[in-house]
Amino acid sequence: MSPRMKQILDLLFSGNAPKEMAKELGISIHTVRDHIKRIYLHYNVSGRGELAAHFMGGLPTPKSPSFDRIHR
């Protein structure tokens, strides 16, 4: 993961909106959204909630192997 993506990740966890991130980093909102999409792909999640769950101890998400075992 690139240093810029790590910055975006930190801002995501701080609760910043993409528009706020773009302003703070001096980049376009489109670039921010592209980085967010790449972060979601990197961690195999589809949104902030799943991303937070991943970092809070691997809570099961629909894409995690443990999800099927728990939700059968």
Q: In this predicted model, what pLDDT tens digit does every residue of 20-62 receive, in sequence order?
A: 999 999 999 999 999 999 999 998 999 998 898 888 876 555 5
Which pLDDT score is estimated for 62? 56
Predicted confidence band of residue 67 (pLDDT cuts 50, 70, 90): very low
Q: How far is CA 17 from CA 11, 13, 32, 58, 60, in A?
A: 8, 10, 10, 24, 25
Which tokens is 5 given?
């993506």
- Domains of the chain (ranges; CATH) run 3-70 (1.10.10.10)
d(CA 70, CA 72): 6
Euclidean distance between the first and final Cα of the chain, in Å? 34
Which tokens is 72 given?
């059968």
